[in-house]
Amino acid sequence: MRALTFLAHRFVAGDDIDDAIEAVRALNADGLKVTLDNLGEDSHDKAHALAAAEENLAMLRRIAQSGVDANISLKLSQLGMGFDDALAKESLLRIVAEAEKLKNFVRIDMEGSAFTQKTLDIFYSLHDAHPGVGIVLQAALRRTEQDCRDAVARKVRVRLCKGAYKEPDTVAFPDKKDVDANYDRCAEILAKAPIPAMATHDDARIEHALKAFDAAGLVKSDYELQMLYGIRGKRARELREKGHTVRVYVPYGTHWFPYFYRRLRERKENLLFIVRNFFE
């Protein structure tokens, strides 16, 4: 527990929205954009799900009031998906409507593979009427190449990440080299999507994506490179200095323990990655 508390101070921007806004200001001062995420997932009752929705609404309002450059990302299980899908969708619609009013953007995070199709179903059920919402896809999953093709066809804004969840081999690539190869294939496909966002700290993946975007005729304002708060900050600033749009994913909140514990427990690669980057 002490070790995780120590890590949390590096990779989480504090317990509340005030802490998070200050972290955003500091990143903005370096020319970096931000995605804010209130930590939490798997709400098991209506009260917690509704409280999570209110926090996301408050986030959007504080971003607007403070004038910082940030959008938000959320997990549908935090809004009740899993025990009341209708409640989750209703809350998501409220949040997206508030974002539209405030001229902001909402990204739906992807969770474990058991939720992938349900997340996409809810997302696509509202995307055409509310284009100011995007989705996350995980290169570790075997299905993701086709999901990227579907997203391009439907003009969806996608954040592509590798994926932090331990999944069965039947649905995910067990070897890193295969995940990397799928990431590269998906990046090439997403070059035809609106504002593709490459969420990775892997220089080889970044370079491959940049070559694919260049070949597709994209300029630097047509896509984003994204990294996690507290990880490879120097590299993020180097990329920004080269003219790329760089966005930092900034989590905050008191629910940091399950955020770290689940990922460190599920995959030893996650622990090695965090330890390597702690001493950047």
The span from the CA of 96 to the CA of 135, in Å, is 13
Coil, strand or helix at 168: coil
- Single-letter residue type at 79: L
Residues comprising the chain, all counted: 280
Of 136, 59, 44, 121, which is closest to residue 95 (Cα–Cα)?
Answer: 59
The span from the CA of 235 to the CA of 241, in Å, is 10
Element (H or E) spanning 159, and its range? strand 158-161
The span from the CA of 14 to the CA of 80, in Å, is 24
Q: Tell me if 227 sits within 8 A of 199, measured CB to CB.
A: yes
159 as an active site residue: the answer is yes
Catalytic residue among 159, 205, 232, 247: 159
The span from the CA of 76 to the CA of 104, in Å, is 18
Q: Tell me if 27 sits within 8 A of 34, measured CB to CB.
A: yes
Element (H or E) spanning 99, and its range? helix 85-101
Catalytic residue among 37, 107, 109, 232: 109
List the catalytic residues.
109, 159
